[in-house]
């Protein structure tokens, strides 16, 4: 017998527990750079995959990451939160939607390649005695078809809406020492 468990992640606001979402989010800290109506421009530091561990000074990848220039990710997000320029916010993306999109982009072309290659080898080479290049061509066309289907699937409005970055909350300024420094460019 198996048990099913559902986890609700909640945010505490003055002793009230408010459910935010029922799934895991990939979170990042960003700084508000511009506000125009309900559109908020945020900027976040793009981190190296190896710049945050304690071995950064002795690791080769950490040394390379130190030598590279800092890059910034700039996004425009719709939000109704009361924010000011310079505020730090937590932006998030649903982890399950991101993983699903990545799986589609990688798996569908691979499945097309394997099925196209198998059909091409069996039908074109073994049965009809054609050259193996025809089987290879069929595998490439099937792989391209898988990629185009994944691209179509990712460009659907419901998928685009599910993959939009959201502002979850404003950061607490009492932890400003842990904040990520970003450049603010006022226009």
DSSP per residue over 44-90, as a string? Answer: EEEPPTTSSSTTTTT-HHHHHHHHSPPEEEEEEEE--S---TT-EEE
Q: Which domain holds residue 49?
A: 9-94+165-178
Total domains in the chain come to: 2
**Do 60 and 135 reside in the same domain of the chain?**
no
Beta bridge partners of 75: 42
- Give me the residues of the chain with pLDDT under 70, please: 1-22, 48-53, 55-57, 62-63, 65, 173-187
Q: What confidence score (pLDDT) does residue 1 get?
A: 42
Judged by DSSP in three states, 6 sits in: coil
pLDDT of residue 4: 43
- DSSP at 177: G
- Per-residue model confidence (pLDDT) at position 9: 45
The CA distances from residue 174 to 16, 63, 170, in Å, are 21, 31, 12
How far is residue 84's CA from residue 32's CA, in Å, rounded to a whole number? 7
Report pTM.
0.63
42 located within any domain:
yes
- Shared domain for 38 and 124, answered yes or no, is no
If asked whether residues 143 and 111 sit together in one domain, one would say yes
> Do β-strands 9-13 and 88-94 pair in parallel, antiparallel, or remain unpaired?
unpaired
Helix runs in the chain, H state only: 60-67, 95-119, 132-154, 157-162
Asked if residue 185 is part of any domain, the answer here is: no
pLDDT value, residue 10:
44
| Residues 19, 82 share a domain | yes
pLDDT tens-digit series, residues 22-63: 578 889 999 999 999 999 999 998 876 665 667 666 777 766
């Amino acid at each position: 017998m198996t048990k099913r468990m559902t986890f609700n992640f909640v945010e505490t606001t003055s002793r009230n527990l408010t459910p935010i979402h029922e799934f895991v989010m990939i979170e990042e800290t960003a700084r508000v750079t511009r506000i125009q109506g309900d559109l908020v421009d945020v900027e976040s530091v793009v981190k190296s995959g190896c710049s945050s561990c304690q071995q950064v000074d002795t690791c080769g990848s950490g040394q390379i990451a130190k030598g590279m220039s800092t890059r910034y990710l700039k996004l425009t997000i719709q939000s109704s939160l009361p924010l000011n320029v310079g505020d730090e916010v937590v932006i998030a993306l649903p982890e399950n939607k991101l993983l699903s999109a990545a799986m589609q982009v990688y798996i569908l072309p691979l499945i097309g390649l394997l099925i196209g290659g198998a059909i091409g080898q069996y039908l074109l080479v073994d049965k009809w005695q054609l050259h193996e290049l025809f089987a290879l061509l069929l595998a490439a066309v099937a792989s391209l078809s898988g990629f185009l289907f994944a691209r179509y699937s990712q460009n659907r409005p419901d998928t685009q809406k599910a993959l939009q970055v959201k502002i979850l909350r404003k950061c607490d300024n009492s932890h400003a020492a842990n904040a990520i420094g970003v450049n603010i460019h006022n226009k």
